[in-house]
């Protein structure tokens, strides 16, 4: 049986994490795949990490389980994903999915991702291809998201419509080959760099449409610093390559 690791960074997601785990369990229960959710909690003040620990004790199925990585503080999205990716690679998971904890990435798309990953090396949940869209965003957020992807596509010369999205499924070999230790990006630029490295290594990529609703609970983590860091990092990737 194939093995899937779902990597979910959390910071103050107490309203979402238990519901999300249940929603994921509901969609993978009928799929012949062994699933582990890896929650990476950055010492959330709201107690998200403690809720995650209780889920570990409560959910102990043969083909569905939870693992939690507790970190000492808010160390950033990229390092959270890299910690989880390394854990998944070391345990020989076949497929590794990154997703947010706030239901912007709908669990209902996971079966389609699993179907596509049989043929492709990276499946991107895309808001910017036909059939994809965002819901309940203001014009500024739409401009930042779509503009960031267009900006990256032009500068890097890679035809990916949704460069900045974080709902992505990788084959293990991709994460083994792109040198996770050398990635220095954060936020949006981390998502851009992961996709760019995957393309440069010659892996097969597909974008599948997703509807991306705004979160119902908690606060968005995007800020100006993350946005401008991404704009600069794209140029660094363009001229320095992916070593």
Distance CA 51, CA 71 (A): 15
Query: What pLDDT does 184 receive?
Result: 81
Domain ranges of the chain: 2-240
Distance CA 148, CA 229 (A): 11
Residue-wise pLDDT tens for the chain (243 aa)? Answer: 999 999 999 999 999 999 999 999 999 988 989 999 999 999 999 999 999 999 999 887 779 999 999 999 999 899 999 999 999 999 999 999 999 999 999 999 999 999 999 999 999 999 999 999 888 777 766 666 677 788 888 899 999 999 989 999 999 999 999 999 999 887 778 999 999 999 999 999 999 999 998 766 555 555 556 666 667 778 778 777 555
> Which pair of tokens denotes residue 199?
């393309």
30 forms beta bridges with: none
The count of other CB atoms within 10 Å of the CB of residue 198 is 25
Question: What is the full DSSP assignment across 209-234?
Answer: E-EEEPPSSS-----HHHHHHHHHHH
Fold classified for 2-240:
Spore Coat Polysaccharide Biosynthesis Protein SpsA; Chain A (3.90.550)
**Do 97 and 6 touch, CB atoms closer than 8 A?**
yes
Question: What would the pLDDT profile of 189-208 be if each residue is shown by its tens digit?
Answer: 899 999 999 999 999 999 99
List alpha helices for 69-171, DSSP H.
77-90, 110-117, 139-156
Question: What would the pLDDT profile of 8-56 be if each residue is shown by its tens digit?
Answer: 999 999 999 999 999 999 999 889 899 999 999 999 999 999 999 999 9
Query: What pLDDT does 97 receive?
Result: 98
How are strands ordered across the β-sheet holding 205-209? Answer: 64-70, 33-41, 2-10, 95-98, 168-171, 122-126, 205-209
Distance CA 241, CA 223 (A): 26
Query: What pLDDT does 143 receive?
Result: 66
Query: What pLDDT does 28 receive?
Result: 94
Distance CA 238, CA 242 (A): 9
Name the DSSP letter for residue 103: S
In this structure, the strands spanning 133-135 and 64-70 are unpaired
The count of other CB atoms within 10 Å of the CB of residue 30 is 7
- Rounded to the nearest 10 degrees, how much is the dihedral formed by the CA atoms of 233, 234, 238, 241? 50
**pTM for the full predicted model:** 0.90
């Amino acid at each position: 049986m194939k093995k899937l690791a779902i990597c979910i960074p959390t910071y103050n997601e107490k309203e979402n994490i238990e519901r999300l785990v249940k929603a994921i369990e509901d969609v993978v229960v009928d799929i012949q795949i062994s699933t582990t959710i890896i929650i990476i909690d950055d010492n959330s003040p709201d107690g998200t990490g403690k809720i995650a620990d209780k889920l570990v004790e409560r959910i102990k199925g043969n083909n569905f389980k939870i693992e939690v990585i507790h970190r000492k503080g808010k160390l950033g999205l990229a390092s959270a994903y890299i910690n989880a990716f390394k854990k998944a690679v070391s345990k020989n998971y076949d497929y590794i999915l990154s997703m947010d904890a706030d239901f912007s990435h709908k669990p209902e798309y996971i079966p389609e991702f699993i179907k596509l990953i049989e043929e492709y090396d990276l499946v991107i949940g895309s808001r910017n291809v036909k059939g994809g869209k965002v819901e309940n965003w203001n014009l500024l957020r739409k401009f930042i998201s779509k503009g960031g992807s267009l900006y990256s596509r032009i500068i890097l010369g890679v035809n990916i419509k949704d460069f900045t999205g974080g709902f992505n499924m990788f084959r293990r070999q991709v994460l083994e080959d792109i040198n996770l230790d050398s990635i220095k990006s954060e936020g949006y630029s981390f998502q851009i760099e992961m996709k760019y490295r995957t393309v440069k290594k010659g892996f097969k990529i597909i974008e599948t449409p997703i509807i991306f609703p705004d979160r119902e609970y908690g606060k968005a983590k995007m800020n100006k610093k993350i946005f401008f860091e991404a704009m600069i990092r794209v140029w660094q990737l363009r001229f320095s390559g992916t070593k």
